[in-house]
Every structure is written in structure tokens, then in C-alpha cells.
């Protein structure tokens, strides 16, 4: 009877498409995936509602800038130290703590807003706490993925995770707008708080997976300063890691500046499309990303990953290069889908490569350095892009930044270790 049951289980497992096997095979994956999917859904709702609340309080773009700075600054500051914390304590417990605090902050905003007690200073204070918690949560979440996404399910697990994230980022903003229109903005924070609470419950199943396996003698012999630079020691040993982190600290300045600053101007001011077109364009970016995640997850192994990853970003750079030269909203939507597809392809290959190359006990520090490289220069990039577009003209700036992106990609691909990464 046991033999028959095992055989039936094996047959049914073979019928499951590779993309969905992590759900079928791993209880730990299910818990992490459900919790993260729902918390991203809640954050996508409040991402639309926060600007509405800020502008209802002050009608000032400067105030919105202060709120975003209050969120981003502690996030960036804590990242180098977050990696050490993540590699020292149980990652699941750290994630549960951050979920509880973020849940409390979401319900605090809801309560204050319902009682007409919310002020811009309170928003900045809460944004700073949320930024700190996110700076702790993300490296821990990245390290947990490296542990739970084993080699048997790694490509499909990463793809399914990103597929669900992109889906929530499509649904969440639309629901957020509906909540504001039909009910009240604070309701969105109640939903966000509830999703953090559900994520907390899901993480209760992962305490064992969050444990750190370290060499006690080695741990006791290292100083805090050595721990701080431990992630750099791991990264510098692998050309694929250090070149890519360095390259994307520069590439991200170009691409995020185009996407966040110049593209809205191109659509709303230069081409004078209706305001909803910008929303559709960004939705097509998410569609492209979801499509890339779906395709990536259908195979267990991908070859020539260095070429595929960087050519994906190059496709996005070419899409940005073409956009100022055309005046069709449908064509721009398709180009944005190409950009989303290429960016997600790179992201998935990068994530799986980190999980393969970095030891679990050092993953938090490497992940925090990776995030620091990605995020630290973005605020300066926004400022530079705004100044540069004003100085040379937005169309010229978009063309030059796109070409600069392609140049950085070409320089990276000129290095054999990047081209030959398989």
C-alpha cells in the first residue's frame, strides 16, 4: 500500500508544471510565498494612498518629498548593519518582529486619520520607522529565500515569487484608487496592517528555516569591523558579483531617472496623452515582468545566463531610447512591456545566481550590500536627472541616459567573466 501511495504521489508530481512545483513540494515555500504576496498586496494599496493623504494634509510636493526622504534615508543607513544582524540572529524571528511593527504603524495611521489627528510630522515619523523596518526585513527575506529555494525548485520558486509580486502590483494600486473613491483612504491602511498580520502568522511556520548555521570558533574570532566588511570579502572573490553590483549602481541611476522623472513628462506634457495613459504604460511594464517570470519558471536550468541577463537590460535601454522618437501610446506601452520583461529577466537571473554563489551564513551581508548598491545612489540620481533634463532638454536627456545605459552594459559584457557566466 505504501509503495502504491508513493508511486501515485510521484506520478501526480510529474503532472505538475515546473513553475508550480514549489507550491506542491515545499511547505516552507508556501508559508513564505503566501505571506510575502499578501504583504506586497497591502503595500501596493497604500503606495497609492500615501500621496493622497500627504496632499490632503499639505497640498505640497515638497512635503511629499520630505515623507519619501524620511522613508528612504533610514532604509539606506541601516542596510550595511542589517546584513550583520541578519547573519547573527534567527531570520524568521527578525521578519516577524518587523511585520508586527509595520502592522502597528499601518493601524496607527488608520486610527489617526479616522480621528482627524494625522499630521505631516506624524507621517514623516511613521515613514522613518517603516523605512527602518524595511531595511531590516528585505535582507532577511532575501536570505530566507536562499535557504528555502533549494536547487530543485530554485528557478521556479524565484519566478513564482516574482509572478505573484507583479500581479499584486497590478491589482493593488487599482484597488487602492477604488478604496479612496468609494470608501475612505484610511481603510487601505487597515488592509495593509491585516496583510502584515497574516504574514506574521505565516512566518510562525519558518523558525527552523530561519536558524543560522555558523562556525562558532570563527564567529568568536571575528570583530564587529570584520563582520561589517565580511560581505565585501565574499563579493570581491567573484567577478560576476562585484562587476554587476558596481555596474547597476550606475545603470539604476539612468533607468530609474528615466522611468520616474522623464517618462511621466514625456507622456503627460510632451505628447499630451490623457492622464490614464501613464497608468496603462506602467501596467504594461508589470505585464512584461510577469511574462518574464512565467517563462523563466518553466525551466529548471538556464544556460548562458550572463548574456541573457545583460541583454535583457539592454532591451530595456533600447526601449527607452526609442520612446522619445515615437508618438503612439500603444507603441510606448509595448516598449514598456519589453523593458519590464528585460528587467525582470535580469532580476531573476541575478537572484538565482546569488543563491547559488553565496553561503547561507554570509547571505544577509551580501544581500544588504547588493541593496545598498541598488538604492543608495537613486535619490542622487533623481536629483541629477531632474537637473540634467532641465539643462539639456528632457528628450535629449532621455536619449543620452539610454545610450549611457547601453554603454555600461557593453563595458560589463567586455569582461569575460560576465559573458561566460553560465
Rounded to whole angstroms, what are the CA distances from 343 to 251, 360, 396? 11, 26, 23
| Per-residue confidence (pLDDT) for residue 64, from 0 to 100 | 67
Q: What is the pLDDT of residues 369-391, one digit of tens each?
A: 787 777 777 767 777 877 888 88
Is the confidence at residue 284, as pLDDT, over 50? yes
| Most trustworthy range by pLDDT among 51-55, 107-111, 145-149 | 107-111
Residue 260 corresponds to which cell in the numbers above?
A: 520616474
| Per-residue confidence (pLDDT) for residue 216, from 0 to 100 | 43
| Per-residue confidence (pLDDT) for residue 7, from 0 to 100 | 42
Whether 132 is covered by a domain: the verdict is yes
DSSP for residue 258: I
Question: Does one domain contain both 88 and 187?
Answer: yes
Query: What span, in angstroms and rounded, lies between the C-alpha atoms of 248 and 408?
Result: 9
pLDDT-derived band of residue 155, with 50, 70 and 90 as boundaries? Answer: confident
Question: Does one domain contain both 192 and 235?
Answer: no
Least trusted range by pLDDT, from 95-109, 295-309, 327-341: 295-309
Whether 9 is covered by a domain: the verdict is no
| Per-residue confidence (pLDDT) for residue 62, from 0 to 100 | 63
Whether 382 is covered by a domain: the verdict is yes
Question: Does one domain contain both 308 and 412?
Answer: yes
Contact 159, 294 (CB under 8 A): yes
Question: Does one domain contain both 206 and 262?
Answer: no
Residue 93 is part of which domain span? 24-212
Q: What is the pLDDT of residues 257-278, one digit of tens each?
A: 888 778 878 887 788 887 667 7
| Per-residue confidence (pLDDT) for residue 369, from 0 to 100 | 79
DSSP for residue 360: G
Who wins on pLDDT, 343 or 230?
Answer: 343
Query: What span, in angstroms and rounded, lies between the C-alpha atoms of 347 and 292?
Result: 10
Q: What is the pLDDT of residues 358-371, one digit of tens each?
A: 877 777 778 777 87
Question: Does one domain contain both 305 and 193?
Answer: no
Looking at 184, 212, 240, the residue that finishes a domain is 212
Locate all alpha helices (DSSP H) within 238-377, ordered by sequence. Answer: 239-257, 263-265, 275-296, 305-322, 329-357, 363-375
Q: What is the pLDDT of residues 181-194, one digit of tens each?
A: 778 778 888 988 99
Q: How many CB atoms lie within 10 A of CB 100?
A: 15
Is the confidence at residue 23, as pLDDT, over 70? yes
Whether 396 is covered by a domain: the verdict is yes
Whether 10 is covered by a domain: the verdict is no
Looking at 164, 186, 212, the residue that finishes a domain is 212
Contact 154, 352 (CB under 8 A): yes
Question: Does one domain contain both 378 and 263?
Answer: yes
Question: Does one domain contain both 88 and 194?
Answer: yes
Question: Does one domain contain both 405 and 259?
Answer: yes
Looking at 180, 212, 244, the residue that finishes a domain is 212
Whether 218 is covered by a domain: the verdict is no
Is the confidence at residue 12, as pLDDT, over 50? no
Number of domains in the chain: 2
Question: Does one domain contain both 194 and 256?
Answer: no
CATH at residue 97: 1.20.1250.20
Is the confidence at residue 320, as pLDDT, over 90? yes
Is the confidence at residue 325, as pLDDT, over 70? yes
Least trusted range by pLDDT, from 58-67, 101-110, 131-140: 58-67
Percent share of the chain, pLDDT over 70: 88
Query: What span, in angstroms and rounded, lies between the C-alpha atoms of 68 and 268?
Result: 23
pTM across the whole model: 0.74
Q: What is the CA radius of gyration of the chain?
A: 22
Question: Does one domain contain both 196 and 237?
Answer: no
Whether 137 is covered by a domain: the verdict is yes
| Per-residue confidence (pLDDT) for residue 222, from 0 to 100 | 54
Question: Does one domain contain both 130 and 242?
Answer: no
Is the confidence at residue 5, as pLDDT, over 80? no
Q: What is the pLDDT of residues 129-139, one digit of tens each?
A: 998 999 889 88
| Per-residue confidence (pLDDT) for residue 407, from 0 to 100 | 96
Whether 5 is covered by a domain: the verdict is no
| Per-residue confidence (pLDDT) for residue 65, from 0 to 100 | 65
pLDDT-derived band of residue 402, with 50, 70 and 90 as boundaries? Answer: very high
Mean pLDDT, all residues of the chain = 82
| Per-residue confidence (pLDDT) for residue 10, from 0 to 100 | 46
Question: Does one domain contain both 154 and 299?
Answer: no
Q: Quick one: average pLDDT of 120-148? A: 88
Provide φ and ψ at 215, rounded to 5°: -85, 110
DSSP for residue 16: S
Amino acid at each position: 500500500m505504501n509503495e502504491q501511495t508513493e508511486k501515485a504521489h510521484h506520478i501526480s508530481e510529474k503532472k505538475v508544471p515546473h513553475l508550480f512545483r514549489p507550491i506542491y513540494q515545499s511547505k516552507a515555500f508556501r508559508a513564505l510565498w503566501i505571506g510575502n504576496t499578501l504583504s506586497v498586496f497591502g503595500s501596493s494599496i497604500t503606495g497609492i494612498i500615501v500621496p493622497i493623504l500627504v496632499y490632503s494634509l499639505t497640498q505640497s510636493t515638497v512635503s511629499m518629498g520630505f515623507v519619501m526622504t524620511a522613508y528612504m534615508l533610514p532604509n539606506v543607513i541601516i542596510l550595511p548593519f542589517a546584513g550583520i544582524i541578519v547573519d547573527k540572529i534567527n531570520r524568521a524571528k527578525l521578519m516577524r518582529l518587523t511585520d508586527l511593527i509595520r502592522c502597528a504603524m499601518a493601524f496607527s495611521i488608520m486610527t489617526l486619520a479616522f480621528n482627524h489627528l494625522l499630521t505631516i510630522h506624524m507621517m514623516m515619523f511613521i515613514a522613518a520607522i517603516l523605512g527602518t523596518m524595511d531595511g531590516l526585513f528585505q535582507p532577511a527575506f532575501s536570505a530566507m529565500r536562499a535557504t528555502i529555494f533549494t536547487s530543485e525548485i530554485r528557478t521556479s520558486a524565484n519566478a513564482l515569487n516574482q509572478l505573484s509580486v507583479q500581479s499584486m502590483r497590478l491589482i493593488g494600486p487599482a484597488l487602492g484608487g477604488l478604496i479612496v473613491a468609494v470608501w475612505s483612504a484610511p481603510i487601505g491602511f487597515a488592509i495593509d496592517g491585516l496583510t502584515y498580520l497574516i504574514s506574521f502568522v505565516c512566518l510562525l511556520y519558518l523558525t527552523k528555516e530561519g536558524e543560522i548555521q555558523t562556525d562558532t570558533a570563527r564567529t568568536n574570532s571575528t570583530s564587529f569591523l570584520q563582520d561589517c566588511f565580511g560581505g565585501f570579502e565574499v563579493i570581491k572573490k567573484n567577478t560576476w558579483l562585484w562587476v554587476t553590483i558596481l555596474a547597476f549602481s550606475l545603470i539604476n541611476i539612468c533607468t530609474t531617472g528615466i522611468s520616474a522623472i522623464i517618462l511621466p513628462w514625456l507622456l503627460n506634457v510632451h505628447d499630451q496623452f490623457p492622464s490614464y495613459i501613464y497608468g496603462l504604460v506602467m501596467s504594461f511594464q508589470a505585464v512584461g515582468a510577469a511574462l518574464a517570470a512565467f517563462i523563466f519558471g518553466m525551466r529548471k536550468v538556464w544556460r548562458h545566463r550572463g548574456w541573457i541577463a545583460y541583454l535583457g537590460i539592454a532591451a530595456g535601454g533600447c526601449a527607452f531610447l526609442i520612446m522619445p522618437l515615437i508618438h503612439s501610446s500603444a507603441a510606448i506601452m509595448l516598449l514598456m512591456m519589453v523593458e519590464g520583461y528585460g528587467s525582470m529577466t535580469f532580476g531573476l537571473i541575478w537572484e538565482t545566481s546569488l543563491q547559488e554563489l553565496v553561503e547561507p551564513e554570509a547571505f544577509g551581508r551580501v544581500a544588504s550590500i547588493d541593496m545598498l548598491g541598488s538604492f543608495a545612489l537613486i535619490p542622487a540620481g533623481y536629483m541629477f536627472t531632474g537637473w540634467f533634463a532641465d539643462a539639456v532638454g528632457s528628450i535629449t536627456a532621455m536619449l543620452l541616459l539610454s545610450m549611457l545605459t547601453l554603454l555600461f552594459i557593453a563595458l560589463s559584457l567586455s569582461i569575460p567573466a560576465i559573458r561566460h557566466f553560465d
